[in-house]
């Protein structure tokens, strides 16, 4: 038995420079010292503050930009620093997409989670949605029926429809989670539509189901809307071999 196992002590992992920089920026955000829209110091200034190389700062900023946490600054002077982004959905979607790919969750597991989120969202939307919300959903359904749109455009409308319902729930985090989940599975959704021999027929059927969901939301029928959205999702995956 090793000495580490006997004593219970574990070696401390030595962090690379850019990981130290990432940890510092993360802590600034968690402590409220950095907020959405704030500008980070420039590379040279940040390197001086932290006592690290500019290369380490640059690598950390590239990681944060790739994750969608910051937008890279350009030029020099006061406007050179990267800006903390106010919309965290892209960052969450990027992480979720990678996690879904690497963890190899089954399609069934992903669908089950989506169904639970959708059930919660539509149930709450039926309680909280107003006339303007309903009108917005109906306009999306109408746009879905236009024969000239592509399946990529249809998928964007479909995503917007479900995200809008989540946002109507009154829970901002639910809307963000729904957007992140839909963005994370976007590639798979498009692949399904591309494989269909008549994607327009499928799109029309989905639009009909969307219409019925909107009717239930407008009527304040939470249980009806919940049953409709669950059937809507289950039918799509079952009909297309997923």
Structural domain spans, the chain: 3-84, 90-239
- Please give the share of the chain, as a percent, with pLDDT higher than 70: 88
The CA distance from 69 to 18, in Å, is 15
Instruction: Please give the CATH superfamily to which domain 90-239 belongs.
Output: GntR ligand-binding domain-like (1.20.120.530)
- Give the global pTM: 0.71
The CA distance from 34 to 24, in Å, is 11
Residues making up the chain, counted from first to last: 242
Residue 115 has which token pair? 């169904």
Which pLDDT score is estimated for 110? 83
Which pLDDT score is estimated for 84? 86
Fold of 3-84: Arc Repressor Mutant, subunit A (1.10.10)
The CA distance from 146 to 143, in Å, is 5
Which pLDDT tens digits describe the chain residue by residue (242 residues)? 555 556 667 666 667 888 888 888 888 888 888 888 889 988 888 899 888 889 999 998 988 887 778 887 655 555 667 888 866 666 777 777 777 777 778 878 888 998 999 999 999 999 999 999 999 999 999 999 999 999 999 999 999 999 999 999 988 888 888 888 888 788 888 999 999 999 999 999 999 999 999 999 999 999 999 999 999 998 888 877 55
Reported as a single tens digit per residue, the pLDDT across 115-126 is: 999 999 999 999
**158 neighbors 206 (Cβ within 8 angstroms):** yes
Which pLDDT score is estimated for 125? 96
The CA distance from 39 to 36, in Å, is 9
DSSP class of 77: G
């Amino acid at each position: 038995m090793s000495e580490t196992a006997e004593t219970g002590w574990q070696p401390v992992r030595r962090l690379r420079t850019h990981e130290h920089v990432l940890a510092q920026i993360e802590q600034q955000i968690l402590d409220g010292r950095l907020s959405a829209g704030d500008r980070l110091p420039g590379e040279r200034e940040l390197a001086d503050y932290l006592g690290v190389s500019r290369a380490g700062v640059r690598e950390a900023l590239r990681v944060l930009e790739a994750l969608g946490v910051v937008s890279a600054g350009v030029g020099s002077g006061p406007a050179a620093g990267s800006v903390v982004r106010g919309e965290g959905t892209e960052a969450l979607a990027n992480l979720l997409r990678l996690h879904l790919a690497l963890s190899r969750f089954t399609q069934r597991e992903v669908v089950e989670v989506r169904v639970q989120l959708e059930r919660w969202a539509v149930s709450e939307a039926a309680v909280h949605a107003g006339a303007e919300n309903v009108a917005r959903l109906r306009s999306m359904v109408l746009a879905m029926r236009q024969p000239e749109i592509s399946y990529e455009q249809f998928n964007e409308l479909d995503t917007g429809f479900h995200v809008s319902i989540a946002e109507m729930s009154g829970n901002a985090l639910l809307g963000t989670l729904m957007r992140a989940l839909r963005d994370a599975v976007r590639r798979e959704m498009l692949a399904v539509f591309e494989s269909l021999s008549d994607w327009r027929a499928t799109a029309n059927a989905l639009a009909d189901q969307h219409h019925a969901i909107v009717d239930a939301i407008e009527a304040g029928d939470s249980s009806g809307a919940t049953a409709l959205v669950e059937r809507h999702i289950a039918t799509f995956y079952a009909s297309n071999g997923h």
